[in-house]
Amino acid sequence: MQCASGECGVKERCHQQITVEIPQSFSDFVEGALLRIQARYPDLRFRVTDAGLEVNGVPVAEVDQLRKQVFHAVYREKIYIETLPLRHKLIEAVTTR
């Protein structure tokens, strides 16, 4: 198996670069989600691209988990942004009584 450091016989020690493809309808939320993702994976390097999120240094054994976490963070950011006006209205209604 080929990895960033050369030949690697241990799957968990091999690292690679991946691109997590983000659907166009979610692309506006990638930047906001990036902070959460970077905090969770401080050893990885992230870069937003037209296709989605490019990640360097991903251990091969963690690729699926990382993809799952990226999608989760982007979806959470989408929910946050879309519900922010409603939360502001609710707080205003409660505090102006």
Q: What is the pLDDT along the chain (97 residues), one digit of tens a residue?
A: 334 444 455 555 678 999 999 999 999 999 999 999 999 999 999 999 999 999 999 999 999 999 999 999 999 999 999 999 999 999 999 998 7
**Any idea what DSSP says for residue 27?**
G
Beta-sheet strand order (sheet of 15-21):
15-21, 52-59, 45-48
Query: Which pLDDT score is estimated for 13?
Result: 61
pTM of the model as a whole: 0.78
Query: Which pLDDT score is estimated for 91?
Result: 93
3-state secondary structure of 75: helix
What the block records as the tokens of 29 is 């939320």
Q: Which domains does the chain have, with CATH numbers?
A: 2-95 (3.30.70)
